[in-house]
Amino acid sequence: MGSVKDLVVLEEPGKNKTGRAQFVFSDRYSVFDWGEMPDHIQAKGAAICITAAFFFEELEEKGIKTHYLGLVEGGEVKRLSELNLPQSRMEIRLLRVLKPGIRGNIYDYSIYREERVNFLIPLEIIYRNSLPEGSSVFKRLKGGSLRLEDFGLSGMPYPGQILEKPFLDVSTKLEASDRYLSWESAKEIAGLSEAEVEEIKRITLLIKELITKEARRIGLVNEDGKVEFGFDEDRNLILVDAVGTLDECRFTYDGIPVSKEIARIFYRKTSWYEEVEEAKKKDKVEWKELVENKPPSLPPVLKESISMLYKACCNEITRRIWFEEVPAVREILEEIREVLIR
């Protein structure tokens, strides 16, 4: 299905009927829209799967509809409380993915004005509690695609600035590279009503509050995160993909990133990253063809530390020891700090 998880289809979705499938969360990871990177992060898939299931089950208790059905163990679909061991396979209700057409370098979203039910909404919603170093917001403000008044700011923000009110951003989901949109453009391309846009914003803020609360409990700051939605057979909004994980959110601990942002920090110092940035400026669709070099591997110490971090966060967020002999999150992050500042 993608660079970090696979999709096993059990029952194809129809025009008016959801299907059934399983996500298989892998140990692969992706940064900068590149796709699969050269390293695998041991146990990452199971840690992400368990953490996402935890948040789905918490959100369902709050009345939020999701595509989550349970985790698969021994051929059975189970709730988290029924599992004996950590699993990396999640069963879900499957929606259709309606890909926009391409005319030259322009994406055509007219299909979303024709179809009404049972599909993935082609948007990613990003909530921002603050503006950590590395946030795309700084580049967009300098480039003029974002305005200070959008954030209620009177002056240029600084890395680490906490926002008085959470900011909800929106980007494309099914294009070669994510592209940020105004809410009016997002509404137009996805064929949404004003009421549906407001409901997406309302649910996203509820999700943000839950993740922020659970992160704070284990000493983490929830800087930002992404959420995805779809429509079921009756055009009810349902939460899809995964939420609350180290891949979907940017957490920090005492200023140290607790997410795949750690890998991004390493790669931003490489010539490969410079090539990627230059290629994206030249061609927003086929930019990968312009990058001659492959990304280098992570240093072994950093790769091991990231693996331990995924496992530790899973243990602490879910309040259950799924992974034995894993240090506390704070201990792992002190080691990572030393590696990154060398």
Q: What is the pLDDT of residues 26-63, one digit of tens each?
A: 999 989 989 899 999 999 999 999 999 999 999 999 99
pLDDT, tens digit, 9 for 90 and up, residues 321-334: 999 999 999 899 88
pLDDT at 135: 84
**Whole-angstrom Cα Rg for the chain:** 20
pLDDT, tens digit, 9 for 90 and up, residues 279-310: 999 987 889 999 999 999 999 999 999 999 99
Distance CA 302, CA 340 (A): 8
Distance CA 239, CA 337 (A): 34
pLDDT, tens digit, 9 for 90 and up, residues 231-250: 999 999 999 999 999 989 99
* Confidence tier at 4 by pLDDT (50, 70, 90): confident
Amino acid at 271: S
pLDDT at 136: 86
Contact criterion met (CB below 8 Å) for 218 and 255: no
pLDDT at 198: 98
Distance CA 71, CA 191 (A): 33
pLDDT, tens digit, 9 for 90 and up, residues 188-226: 999 999 999 999 999 999 999 999 999 999 999 999 999
pLDDT at 2: 65
Least confident of 1-10, 135-144, 197-206, 266-275: 1-10
**Left (φ > 0), alpha (ψ -120 to 50) or beta: where does 130 sit?**
beta
* Confidence tier at 1 by pLDDT (50, 70, 90): low
pLDDT, tens digit, 9 for 90 and up, residues 169-189: 999 999 987 899 999 999 999
Distance CA 136, CA 173 (A): 16
Q: Per-domain residue ranges for the chain?
A: 5-96+191-340
pLDDT, tens digit, 9 for 90 and up, residues 66-80: 999 999 999 999 999
pLDDT, tens digit, 9 for 90 and up, residues 269-281: 999 999 999 999 9
Task: For residue 21, count other CB atoms closer than 10 A to its CB.
Answer: 22
pLDDT at 312: 96
